[in-house]
């Protein structure tokens, strides 16, 4: 609760450096490691009790980026679980990376933790993995999907699909990950295009520091996965309720992708944001947390509606 109180004060003070520094240096969550295959362990944040909300970060982030959301979930009676993908953050690197392995890793974690009635939320690249996992595995223990600034259905323009980035432009990003990883993962750099007017350097540099924990190979292979991944044929296989969160001004993952996802998933709805582009989970943290809680509690008989705690 103390962390949540500081967070509300932080928002009221419009990125006041004192409060920001306290929040970024506060750790109120329990951590563990889960072995997903021989010699490969993933870092997991697992805090709170109640219905589980599983959060998957984007590329090349760790689950630490959900620091601002964990406490809001716990304060409202939920169990918050963050999964850092292989090769990122404190998770082990691996000899290979592909979408099937990420989906299998997610299956192993959910099974190991014996989770039921799961809300699965994926941010950016994590959204692609979450959507693929639901379509391919059709897990009975996941009852709801939330896609946050997700690279779904396809991040790359294709035949009869003029949305997203051109393959030529994205190949330049892949090449940059091989020659200058620091520039590529910088939130103020050419890929993520965060505007300093929306987020101060202290917070932006904290996120970049998390990004720099990732292995170069995991980043490059993750980008190649995004280049090759086309989920359009699989969207109709996602049958559980799906909420799509996206900023209309997202320069990293264009808003038009969210619109295509909305058309492709039958039981879906779209919640829009307007400040911070790809980074509204930070720049509009209060609205994001409130909308996340609304999405979780909207289905009667599964979740108990709880007030948003300030």
CA distances in angstroms from 123 to 54, 70, 307, listed in the order given: 11, 14, 24
Mean pLDDT of 232-247: 97
Residue 304 lies in a domain: no
Q: Report the DSSP beta bridge partners of residue 269.
A: 243
193 Rama sector, left if φ>0, alpha if ψ -120 to 50, beta otherwise: left
Total tally of structural domains belonging to the chain: 1
Mean pLDDT of 264-280: 93
For residue 53, the SS3 value is strand
pLDDT in tens, 100-135: 999 999 999 999 999 999 999 999 999 999 999 999
Question: Mean pLDDT score of the chain, rounded to an integer?
Answer: 87
Residue 308 lies in a domain: no
Residue 232 lies in a domain: yes
pLDDT band at 10 (very low <50, low <70, confident <90, very high): very low
Predicted local confidence at residue 285, as pLDDT: 87
What whole-number distance in Å separates Cα of residue 102 and Cα of residue 170? 21
The CATH number of the domain holding residue 285 is: 3.40.50.1820
pLDDT band at 39 (very low <50, low <70, confident <90, very high): confident
Residue 141 lies in a domain: yes
Q: Which residue segment(s) compose the domain that 28 sits in?
A: 2-297
pLDDT in tens, 205-221: 889 999 999 999 999 99
Residues 6 or more apart whose Cβ sits within 8 Å of residue 197: none
Torsion sign across C-alpha atoms 98, 69, 252, 165: positive
Residue 310 lies in a domain: no
pTM of the entire structure?
0.89
Predicted local confidence at residue 21, as pLDDT: 57
Per-residue pLDDT at 20 exceeds 70: no
pLDDT band at 19 (very low <50, low <70, confident <90, very high): low
CA-wise closest residue to 285 among 53, 78, 12 = 12
Residue 305 lies in a domain: no
Catalytic center residues: 124, 250, 278
The DSSP output letter for 84 is P
Per-residue pLDDT at 197 exceeds 90: no
**Burial per residue of 251-288, b for 16 or more beta-carbon CB atoms within 10 angstroms, e otherwise:** ebbbbebbebbbebbeebeebebeebbbbbbbbbbbbb
CA-wise closest residue to 150 among 131, 166, 163, 178 = 131
Residue 306 lies in a domain: no
Residue 309 lies in a domain: no
């Amino acid at each position: 609760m103390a962390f949540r109180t500081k967070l509300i004060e932080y928002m009221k003070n419009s990125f006041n450096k004192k409060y920001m520094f306290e929040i970024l240096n506060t750790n109120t969550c329990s951590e563990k490691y889960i072995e997903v295959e021989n010699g490969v362990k993933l870092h997991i944040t697992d805090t709170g009790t109640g219905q589980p909300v599983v959060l998957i970060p984007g590329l090349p982030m760790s689950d630490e980026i959900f620091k601002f959301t964990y406490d809001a979930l716990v304060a409202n009676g939920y169990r918050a679980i963050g999964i850092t993908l292989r090769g990122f953050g404190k998770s082990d690197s691996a000899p290979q990376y592909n979408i099937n392995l990420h989906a299998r890793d997610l299956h192993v974690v959910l099974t190991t933790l014996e989770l039921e009635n799961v809300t699965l939320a994926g941010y950016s690249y994590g959204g692609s993995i979450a959507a693929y996992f639901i379509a391919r595995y059709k897990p009975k223990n996941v009852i709801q999907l939330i896609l946050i600034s997700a690279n779904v259905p396809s991040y790359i323009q294709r035949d009869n699909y003029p949305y997203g980035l051109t393959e030529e432009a994205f190949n330049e990003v892949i090449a940059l990950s091989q020659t200058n990883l620091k520039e590529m993962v910088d939130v103020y750099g050419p890929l993520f295009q965060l505007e300093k007017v929306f987020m101060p350097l202290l917070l932006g540099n904290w996120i970049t520091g998390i990004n720099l924990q990732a292995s170069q190979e995991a980043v490059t292979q993750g980008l190649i996965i995004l280049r090759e991944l086309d989920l359009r044929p699989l969207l109709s296989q996602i049958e559980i309720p799906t909420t799509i969160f996206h900023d209309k001004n997202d320069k990293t993952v264009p808003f038009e992708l969210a619109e295509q996802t909305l058309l492709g998933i039958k039981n879906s709805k779209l919640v829009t944001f307007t400040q911070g582009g790809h980074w509204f989970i930070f720049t509009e943290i209060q609205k994001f947390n409130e909308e996340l809680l609304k999405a979780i509690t909207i289905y009667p008989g599964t979740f108990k509606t709880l007030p948003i705690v300030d």
